[in-house]
Structure 1
Amino acid sequence: MQPTLRTVRVGGFTLHLRTTPGPGSAVSPRSPYVLVHGLGMTHRYLDRLRAGLAADAVVHTVDLPGYGPGPRPRIQLTVEDHAALMVEALGVLGTGPCTLVGHSMGVQFVTEAALQSPALAERLVLIGPVVDRLRRTVPQQAVSLAHDMLRESASANRIVLGDYLQTGTRWYLRQLRPMMDYPLERAVERLRCPVLVVRGSRDLVARDRWCRELVTRARDGVLVEIAGQPHVVQHSAAARVAAEIVAFSRRTALPS
């Protein structure tokens, strides 16, 4: 089913949210999934995952201010700013408690949103989390990303490069520094909800040691590694990632 687009204005900024209804929600209500993109990206590389998760529950995908079509904000927005805007927008939608799913820099957005609004986040899914605290320099990340793109599928690279061009160099660079500065490992330590970390086994951006460290730092964390997949694993192995997220959601669900 095609998602329904809603444009939400909060704090003078515009967020685009696409909602895909889940089956049987009236009979057996399940909390929705909220999918959040990474640096330079939009909802497009989350579409396959959205379709897989919609078989289980309602799915909302978020395009944050400055990403996708439309004007770029005139000021720099931090990770904390984006998270606050997302929390407010989801409040406008009336989503209630949900499973927040982020990819790459989107991991930072959903983690911060869970810290700002613990009642919103029943659980977190961190796919390809950045930035590794032992590789927190722009050259290191640039080299890792360039090498990873050689491992991505042609369809993933088309979406990534298309979104990068649409986002533009200026906004990309303005968001790069907040991403590099956000201390994800310390933020994860403060989370109250269960955390699932997902990585592709061939991901050079979110490496095994770093992902295992995040799981260890979380109060209730678990790691899933998808064999043979690179950084954009939610696109290249969407069905497997969706199945792991649904299983995690059901395993950590509160008794009705």
Structure 2
Amino acid sequence: MSVHIAIVGKGPDLALLHGWGMHGGVWDGVRDALAQRFRLHIVDLPGYGASPAFEPYTLEHLARAVSTALPGKVQVCGWSLGGQVALEMALLFPDQIERLILTSSTPCFAAREGWPCAVPREVLLEFAAALEFDYEGTLKRFLALQARGGDEVKSLLKRLRDILFTRGRPDVQTLRAGLNVLLESDLRNRVAKIKTPTLLLHGGRDMLTPVGAAHWLAEQMPEARLEVLPGAAHAPFLAHPVEFTEIVTGFLGPAND
């Protein structure tokens, strides 16, 4: 299958992976600044934007599809669900991923016994059920959860809603399958194997993927470093684009001349 990727900028290759319900346009607020330093590969995950849906919609299949569409050597920044795809890519293709940035991501989205820094399973199950009879309202409630707790909640929520349908509407099957990935994926027993230099960039007020998950990853991953934006919620690149860009470029280093 083909994965749509918009390429912009010059410099080292950097792929940007969006989260559930969104598309590559969610990065527009930091795109121009990053494109001054990097050759960006802005991915529409399967079923979103210009990328066709596929089956089976599993984390491994997503990681393999994105990996095939990207250069043989690439730096990857994944947000939320995109961060889990990036983690799976680093596990499956360690020689391809030069550096890894996990933005508001987690090895395990759904709460389990002994894993409290996560969203309750019932919340994700409620979203999945509600998609059937209130598609648009369900997506907008998910956006509200992303914005909750951070600085400038209303303006952030408006930006998320403005972006949501600018590249079409993902079908219910894709959304339901993506929620199932969030419900079932648990990478906790594998992440210690990742030797790729990794930046964990997290909002201190994230209500969807609590910052405790990032602290846990920082302890488990041998080459990981944690940066917390204290006032940010689940989308720090939207609420704090300047700080986000500075942290990312500082981690990845100067552009090649």
Q: TM-score range by the shorter chain?
A: 0.7 to 0.9
Work out the number of aligned pairs and report it. Answer: 228
| Long gaps (5+) in structure 2 | 128-140
Give the whole-Å Cα distance in 1 for the aligned partners of 2:51 and 2:91. Answer: 29
The equivalent of 1:3 in structure 2 is: none
The equivalent of 1:17 in structure 2 is: 5
The equivalent of 1:241 in structure 2 is: 244
The equivalent of 2:136 in structure 1 is: none
1:187, CA displacement in angstroms? 3.3
Greater Cα shift, 149-158 or 104-113: 149-158
1:198, CA displacement in angstroms? 0.8
- Summarize the Cα distance change of 1:70–1:224 in structure 2 as closer, same or farther, 3 Å threshold: closer
Give the whole-Å Cα distance in 2 for the aligned partners of 1:66 and 1:243. Answer: 31
Counterpart selection for 2:65 from 85, 94, 105: 85
The correspondence of residues 12-91 of structure 1 with structure 2, limited to 5 A, is: 13-22=1-10, 25=11, 31-69=12-50, 71-73=52-54, 75-90=55-70
Give the whole-Å Cα distance in 2 for the aligned partners of 1:67 and 1:239. Answer: 27
8 Å contact from structure 2 (residues 203, 230) kept in 1? yes
The equivalent of 1:138 in structure 2 is: 121
Give the whole-Å Cα distance in 2 for the aligned partners of 1:32 and 1:221. Answer: 20
8 Å contact from structure 2 (residues 147, 235) kept in 1? no
1:184, CA displacement in angstroms? 3.0
1:193, CA displacement in angstroms? 0.7
The correspondence of residues 161-240 of structure 1 with structure 2, limited to 5 A, is: 161-162=164-165, 166-240=169-243
Q: Percent identity?
A: 24
Give the whole-Å Cα distance in 2 for the aligned partners of 1:204 and 1:17. Answer: 30
The equivalent of 1:9 in structure 2 is: none
The equivalent of 2:91 in structure 1 is: 115
Q: Once the two structures are superposed, what CA deviation does each residue of 1:46-93 show, in whole Å capped at 9, x if it has no partner?
A: 1222222112121111112211246433x3310100110111111xxx
1:129, CA displacement in angstroms? 0.5
3-state SS of paired residue (2:78): strand
The equivalent of 1:105 in structure 2 is: 81
8 Å contact from structure 2 (residues 4, 44) kept in 1? yes
Greater Cα shift, 131-140 or 58-67: 131-140
Greater Cα shift, 193-202 or 129-138: 129-138
8 Å contact from structure 1 (residues 45, 156) kept in 2? no
8 Å contact from structure 1 (residues 145, 205) kept in 2? no
8 Å contact from structure 1 (residues 111, 187) kept in 2? no
The equivalent of 1:5 in structure 2 is: none
- Summarize the Cα distance change of 1:121–1:159 in structure 2 as closer, same or farther, 3 Å threshold: farther
- Summarize the Cα distance change of 1:147–1:60 in structure 2 as closer, same or farther, 3 Å threshold: closer
